[in-house]
Amino acid sequence: MARVAIVTGGTRGIGRAICEHLKADGFTVVANYAGNEDAARQAGEELGIATYKWDVGDHQACLDGCERVAKEVGPVDVVVNNAGITRDGTLHRMSFEDWNEVMRINLGGCFNMAKACFPGMRERGWGRIVNIGSINGQAGQYGQVNYAAAKSGIHGFTKALAQEGAKFGVTVNAIAPGYIDTDMVAAVPPAVLEKIVARIPVGRLGQAHEIARGVSFLCSEDAGFVTGSTLSINGGQHMY
Ligand code: CAA
C-alpha cells in the first residue's frame, strides 16, 4: 500500500509543488490548508489529492486533524512542515501579535505536527519529516526578527528531533529555500525585491518545483542515511 504523506500549506505555492512531486513518487498525498477554499478546491481537483482544513498553529487541531487523516486515509508516514506566514516589519514597528503569530504558526506548527505524527512513525519503524526553513533563518533578514527567529528555530528543531528519530528509522531534515517565485515573495515591495534578486548569483528567483525536488529526495527510500541535514536551495545567495 502507498505510504501517506501530509504537506501543510499544501494547496498553494511551494506546498502545492511538493504535493505534486510526492504524488508522482507514489505517495498518497494529503494537503492541509488554513483558509483559502478556492485554492484548496483547485489543488484537490487538479492534483487528485485530499485536502483537509486546520490551523497548524493550533495544537489540538493538529492532533484531531492528523487523527482524522489516519482514520480516513491511513497512517501518516511522511510530514512536510511547509505552512508559514510573514508579518514583516522592523522591530520598532512590530507588534507582539506579529511576533507571536509567526512563531505560533511557523515554528509551533512543526512541533504540533510532529507531536501528532512522530509517535506512529516511531512505532512503525519508518518515517520522514521534512521541515521548510529559510535562508532568512540562516542569515537573518532586515525586517524579519519574527520570521528569522521562527525559521532558525526550525533548523534547531530539525537537528534535535533527527537525533530522537534515528534509531527508529525516522529521518528529520530541513530545506532552506532562498527567494522563490511565490505569493509570499511577491508581497515584498518591488524596489526591495529588486535589490534582493540582484544579490542572487544565479540571477533569478527560484521556482517552487526546485524546492519540491529536494523534498522528494529527502522523502525517498534512498535518503535513509540523510538525517539532521539542511539542504540550501537558494541560487547561491547564502553559502552556509
Ligand atoms: N539593510 C539595511 N537597511 C535597510 C535594509 C537592509 N536590508 N532594507 C531597508 N533598509 C533601510 C532603508 O534603506 C531605509 O533607510 P532610510 O530610512 O535611511 O532610507 C529604512 O531601512 C526603511 O526601509 P523601508 O522603506 O523598506 O521601510 P519600511 O518600513 O517601509 O519597510 C520592511 C520595512 C517591511 C522590512 C521592508 O523593507 C521589507 O518588506 N523588506 C523585505 C523583507 C523581506 O525580505 N522579506 C522576505 C519575505 S519572503 C520570505 O520570507 C520567504 C523566504 O523564506 C525567503
pLDDT digits (tens, 9 = 90+) for 108-144: 999 999 999 999 999 999 999 999 999 999 999 999 9
For residue 150, what is the domain's CATH number?
3.40.50.720
Distance CA 132, CA 142 (A): 20
Residue labelled with grid coordinates 540562516: 138
Ligand 1 atom closest to residue 137's alpha carbon, by position in its atom list: 53
Asked, for residue 240, whether it belongs to a domain, the answer is no
Is residue 116 domain-resident?
Answer: yes
**pLDDT tier, 229 (very low <50, low <70, confident <90, very high otherwise):** very high
Q: How many whole angstroms from 195 Cα to the centroid of ligand 1?
A: 10
Tell me the pLDDT band of 44, cut-offs 50, 70 and 90.
very high
Counting the structural domains of the chain, the total is 1
pTM of the model as a whole: 0.96
Q: What is the Rg, in whole angstroms, of the alpha carbon atoms belonging to the chain?
A: 17
147 is catalytic: yes
Which residues span the domain enclosing 172? 4-233
Longest dimension (CA), the chain: 53
Pairing state between β 28-33 and 50-53: parallel
Task: State the pLDDT at residue 50.
Answer: 98
Terminal Cα-to-Cα distance of the chain (whole angstroms): 39
Report the distance separating Cα 202 and Cα 146, nearest Å: 27
Inside any domain, residue 238: no
Active site residue: 33, 52, 142, 147, which one? 147
Protein residue with its CA nearest to atom 2 in ligand 1: 142
The C-alpha cell that represents 166 in the structure block: 534515528
